[in-house]
């Protein structure tokens, strides 16, 4: 027996109650919100250390389903939820040592950019070939996020999740904007293709133009990636160099590692002396130069003779120049500096980090932050100053570009080392403050993308791991474990040619931002014309 809820209308007649359907509608309203969060989590899962790069496609397909045709208010909320689902787990490492406050604040701010992108995607979702406009809107959002606030935070660019993916060769075509655009376009195109198939089954009305646009949205990125493969090469163009990376390890993980600065320096000296002994014993090839990580000498060797002495001893033992990561003070300015240390001449060339990390190497809004938590201000007692010149060391005829740690996330900071002559790139880093979090693997993936983007060998010497040698095609040929002392020695190709991405620089990103602006302008104009028509 079926029981139907009833109510009495104004005429006194019994009518089926609307309560169940109203409740159902309320529950249905939650489905897009839940889908947005889950798709954001799916996008996070596509990032390293996992190799599930392809999950980015269904993540964006589901996001498109949630957004298409929504009002701007609904799209704003759904975009924010997608951003939280993606960024909360992706950036959890930012709170490893300082607690959840900074992590949650960072995510809350960064998700606003994703929310605004959601509004833009919803606005263009009714335009012809909308996946193109929508994917460009996403890249425009990344472009803004990479620049503001506090000089930007590009972490979480879609391109950085594609180091193991089929789309990776597109990095050589137009850098991270083109690579990210292709992935997002393909995801949106998959949703549009599925939507049109369902619509065709329901209405029996073919929409050939829309179907062709959807199929091209999927096919063009894939075909483009295949066509770009010849741009990816590990062939030596200017000879080769044998390079050694030193990972000395730290006394302990966390912020306290810097309290034992001499111990960190000694660890790197010890591992270099071990390399020297193995070279003498024939167990390791003699390198042309040795690369130490960022913060390998937090003791200023220019003002501390004992630090200079042990570095000189290590350089003499191995018999080749060392690139040392030091913290130095010059004219009252604190600098994160790479120092090329010759075994005979001592320090000869330097590079000062230009993109210093907000809230890590300098403290914006110091007064406000101190009012919230004085412990945070004590962690950054003195702000680091920024360097002004690109870093390219000329080491025995090889030109080594330098992008220190956080700088690897910024397109310009890596590119201008190549445009200034770098034949290979080194990304000296210090991840000890983030313990065994995924941060190390996320950053390593960035370096793999940079290798393909500029067709250069990229070396990543890290204080505590993972240190690695990356070929110009993005392959990791050697790597260390985490929190172990180790060295790597490898012969690597030196290259001089420029990829289209290197030559074009910021132009592909500007073009995609203009496409996004054009789509948004079209959508806004169409909406205004529609309102005038209704009003008439």
Task: Write out 163-210 in H/E/C secondary structure.
Answer: CCCCCHHHHHHHHHHHHHHHHHHHHHHHHHHHHHHHHHHHHCCCCHHH
Q: Give yes or no for residue 190 having a pLDDT over 70.
A: yes
CA 106 to chain centroid, in Å, comes to 15
Split at pLDDT 50, 70, 90, the class of 290 is very high
| Range 417-433 average pLDDT | 95
Q: Give yes or no for residue 10 having a pLDDT over 70.
A: no
Q: Estimate the crossing angle of helix 507-535 against helix 130-145, to 10 degrees.
A: 120
Dig out the tokens for 184 from the structure. 């997002």
| Range 190-212 average pLDDT | 89
Q: Give yes or no for residue 165 having a pLDDT over 60.
A: yes
Active site residue: 142, 294, 407, 438, which one? 294
| Range 489-514 average pLDDT | 98
Tens-place pLDDT, residues 170-179 = 999 999 999 9
Lowest-pLDDT choice from 37-41, 330-334, 411-415: 330-334
| Range 287-313 average pLDDT | 95
For all residues of the chain together, what is the average pLDDT? 91
Q: Which of the pair, 331 or 245, is modelled with greater confidence?
A: 245
Q: Give yes or no for residue 478 having a pLDDT over 50.
A: yes
Dig out the tokens for 250 from the structure. 């730290």
DSSP assignment of 3-60 equals: ---EEE-TTS-EEE-SHHHHHHHHHHHHHHHHHHHHHHHHHHHTSTTS--GGGHHHHH
Active site residue: 361, 405, 407, 438, which one? 405
Active site residue: 353, 399, 407, 479, which one? 353
Q: Please give the pLDDT value at position 253.
A: 55
Q: Please give the pLDDT value at position 302.
A: 95
Place of tokens 């074009």: 504
Tens-place pLDDT, residues 483-500 = 999 999 999 999 999 999
Cα separation, 390 vs 145, whole angstroms = 23
Lowest-pLDDT choice from 173-187, 198-212, 265-279, 509-523: 198-212
Q: Give yes or no for residue 55 having a pLDDT over 70.
A: yes
Split at pLDDT 50, 70, 90, the class of 14 is very low
Lowest-pLDDT choice from 119-133, 264-278, 425-439: 425-439
Cα separation, 457 vs 245, whole angstroms = 13
The verdict on whether 157 is a catalytic residue reads no
Burial category of 374 from C-beta neighbours within 10 Å (exposed 0-12, middle 13-18, buried 19 and up)? exposed
Considering only CA atoms, which of 25, 1, 24, 4 is closest in space to residue 14? Answer: 4
Q: Please give the pLDDT value at position 23.
A: 75
Q: Which of the pair, 14 or 127, is modelled with greater confidence?
A: 127
Q: Give yes or no for residue 184 having a pLDDT over 60.
A: yes
Q: Give yes or no for residue 101 having a pLDDT over 70.
A: yes
Q: Which of the pair, 22 or 242, is modelled with greater confidence?
A: 242
For the chain, give the longest Cα–Cα distance. Answer: 104
Split at pLDDT 50, 70, 90, the class of 526 is confident
| In the chain, % of residues over pLDDT 90 | 78
Dig out the tokens for 183 from the structure. 């992935």
Lowest-pLDDT choice from 95-99, 288-292, 485-489, 491-495: 95-99
The verdict on whether 479 is a catalytic residue reads no
Q: Please give the pLDDT value at position 515.
A: 98
Q: Give yes or no for residue 9 having a pLDDT over 80.
A: no
CA 146 to chain centroid, in Å, comes to 10
* Residues facing 402 on adjacent strands: 391, 426
Q: Please give the pLDDT value at position 271.
A: 97
Tens-place pLDDT, residues 357-373 = 988 888 887 777 667 76
The verdict on whether 353 is a catalytic residue reads yes
Q: Please give the pLDDT value at position 362.
A: 82
| Range 89-116 average pLDDT | 91
CA–CA distance from 97 to each of 49, 144, 252, 375, 433 (Å)? 21, 28, 13, 12, 7
Place of tokens 């950053």: 443
Dig out the tokens for 321 from the structure. 């120049």
Q: Which of the pair, 20 or 44, is modelled with greater confidence?
A: 44
Split at pLDDT 50, 70, 90, the class of 67 is very high
DSSP state of 320: S
Cα separation, 283 vs 69, whole angstroms = 65
8 Å CB contact between 299 and 435: no
Cα separation, 96 vs 103, whole angstroms = 9
Asked, as a colleague might, if the bond just before 78 is cis with ω within 30 of 0, I would say no
Q: Give yes or no for residue 113 having a pLDDT over 70.
A: yes
């Amino acid at each position: 027996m079926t029981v139907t809820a009833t109510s009495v209308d104004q005429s006194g007649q019994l009518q089926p109650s609307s309560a169940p359907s109203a409740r159902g509608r309320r529950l249905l309203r939650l489905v897009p919100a839940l889908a947005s969060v889950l798709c954001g989590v799916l996008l996070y899962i596509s990032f390293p250390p996992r190799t599930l790069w392809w999950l980015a496609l269904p993540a964006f397909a589901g996001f498109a389903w949630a957004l298409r045709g929504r009002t701007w208010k609904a799209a704003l909320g759904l975009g924010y939820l997608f951003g939280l689902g993606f960024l909360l787990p992706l950036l959890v490492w930012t709170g490893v040592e300082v607690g959840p406050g900074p992590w949650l604040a960072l995510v809350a701010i960064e998700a606003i950019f994703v929310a605004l992108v959601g509004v833009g995607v919803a606005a263009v979702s009714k335009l012809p070939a909308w996946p193109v406009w929508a994917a460009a809107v996403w890249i425009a959002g990344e472009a803004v996020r990479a620049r503001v606030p506090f000089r930007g935070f590009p972490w979480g660019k879609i391109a950085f999740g594609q180091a193991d993916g089929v789309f990776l060769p597109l990095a050589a075509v137009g850098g991270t904007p083109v690579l990210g655009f292709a992935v997002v376009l393909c995801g949106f195109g998959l949703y549009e293709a599925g939507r049109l198939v369902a619509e065709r089954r329901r209405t029996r009305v073919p929409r050939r133009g829309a179907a062709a646009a959807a199929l091209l949205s999927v096919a063009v990125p894939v075909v483009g990636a295949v066509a770009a493969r010849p741009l990816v090469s590990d062939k030596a163009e200017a000879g080769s160099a044998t390079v050694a990376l030193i990972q000395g390890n730290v006394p302990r993980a966390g912020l306290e590692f810097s309290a034992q600065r001499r111990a960190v320096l000694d660890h790197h000296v010890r591992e270099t002396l071990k390399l020297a002994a193995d070279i003498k014993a024939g167990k390791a090839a003699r390198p042309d130069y040795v690369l130490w990580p960022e913060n390998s000498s937090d003791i200023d060797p220019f003002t501390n003779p004992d630090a200079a002495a042990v570095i000189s001893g290590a350089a003499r033992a191995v018999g080749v120049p060392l690139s040392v990561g030091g913290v130095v003070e010059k004219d009252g300015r604190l600098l994160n500096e790479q120092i090329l240390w010759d075994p005979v001449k001592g320090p000869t060339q330097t590079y000062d980090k230009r993109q210093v990390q907000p809230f890590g190497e300098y403290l914006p809004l110091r007064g406000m932050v101190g009012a919230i938590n004085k412990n945070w201000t004590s962690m950054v007692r003195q702000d680091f100053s920024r360097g002004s010149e690109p870093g390219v060391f000329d080491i025995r005829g090889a030109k080594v570009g330098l992008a220190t740690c956080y700088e690897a996330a910024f397109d310009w900071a890596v590119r201008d080392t190549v445009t200034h002559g770098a034949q290979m790139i080194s990304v000296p880093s210090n991840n000890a403050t983030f313990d065994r979090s995924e941060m190390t693997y996320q950053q390593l993936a960035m370096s793999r993308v940079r290798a393909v983007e500029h067709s250069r060998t990229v070396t990543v010497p890290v204080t505590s791991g993972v240190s690695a040698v990356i070929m110009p095609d993005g392959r990791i040929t050697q790597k260390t474990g985490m929190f172990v002392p180790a060295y790597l020695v490898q012969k690597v190709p030196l290259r001089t040619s420029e990829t289209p991405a290197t030559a074009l620089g910021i132009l592909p990103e500007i073009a995609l931002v203009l496409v996004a602006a054009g789509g948004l302008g079209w959508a806004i104009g169409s909406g205004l014309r529609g309102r005038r028509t209704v009003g008439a």
